[in-house]
Every structure is written in structure tokens, then in C-alpha cells.
Structure 1
């Protein structure tokens, strides 16, 4: 029986911080596994969170919400696909 493909989940979120805490929150986010920062402006940080389950993404978002200086962390988008759907088309360069 073929093995069931792994699911891959990705979400984006906006983290709202005290303006004076944005740098320290960004540093904490960079240290978190599966979290990437895409923009920081005026105390708002746009992040992408990656993981194997929707619950894992929620747990990371909850952890972000608890960071000192964070007012709110709201998921904006979530998407999931089977890992095999990516195949060799994972390239994102403009070759």
C-alpha cells in the first residue's frame, strides 16, 4: 500500500507590537523554528509560519502572542498541500 503523502502547511500572520519593542520581538521571531519575517514597519511585523499540521501553526502563533511587547498576532492566511505535489517545482528563482 502506498505511503500517504505528508501535509505541508504554511500561513501568514501580522504581529502587532509596541513600536519600541519591534526590534526585540523580531529577534525572538528569527530564533523560532519555522518562522520567517517578511516585513517590519511601524510596530507591525509580517511573518510566514511553516509546519506539518494546522495545530502546529496555531501553537507557534500562540507562542508569538505571548512574547513580551506583542499586542496581537493574527493569522491572515493558511494553506496546506501534500508534499508530493511540490515535486521538483519548488524552485522559486527566476531561472
Structure 2
């Protein structure tokens, strides 16, 4: 029987001082589980993916500490459940 593992996806808006927009955008794009989808007028739209709400919150906190970031706010979170087969269980344990 397959197990189910939660998979969390969130969108967030990161508000940045305009002179730091390009630098912060690059830093965000280099973070694991983060994709930058748009940047304009001091706002950056990102999608964050992870294994738990806590992991998403930790990543959001990390974003808020970047130099030039004024605010980082989660907008939406969705949870899906992935089915893990026996082969994947063995691979994950290795």
C-alpha cells in the first residue's frame, strides 16, 4: 500500500526597496524550493514549495531577512498529497 506525503505550495509577495530589486530577485531565485514569477515596481511574486507549512514559513522568514526587503508576505498556501510507492521509499531511505 502506498503512503501519502504532504506537498505544500505557497505564493508570496516580497516588497523590496527599488534599488535592491535586481539583487534580491537573484537571491530569491537561488533559494531551494523558490521560483520567481514576476518582479515590478518594488514587488516580487514568488512560489515556495516544501514538505510542510513550517518549511514554507522558514523560507519566508529567510526572505524577509535579505538586505533591501521591506516585507515578505504569504498570500496563499495549498497542500497536495503525493503517493509514495515502495521504490520511492527505498530511495528516500538511502
Q: Is the pair's TM-score, using the shorter chain for normalization, greater than 0.5?
A: yes
Q: Which has the higher strand share?
A: 2
Deviation at 1:3, TM superposition (A): 4.7
Deviation per residue, 1:27-71 (Å, 9 max, x gap): 100110000001000010000000000000000000000000000
Structure-1-length-normalised TM-score:
0.84
Structure 1: gaps of 5 or more residues: 85-95
Structure-2-length-normalised TM-score:
0.85
Give me the CA root mean square deviation. Answer: 0.8
State the distance in 2 between where 1:56 and 1:70 align: 20
Aligned to 2:74: 75
State the distance in 1 between where 2:24 and 2:18 align: 10
Deviation at 1:22, TM superposition (A): 0.5
State the aligned residue count: 83
Runs of 4+ displaced beyond 2 Å: none
State the distance in 2 between where 1:81 and 1:38 align: 21
Aligned to 1:20: 19
Q: Which has the higher helix share?
A: 2
Structure 2: gaps of 5 or more residues: 84-94
Tell whether 2:46 aligns with 1:36.
Answer: no
Aligned to 1:64: 63
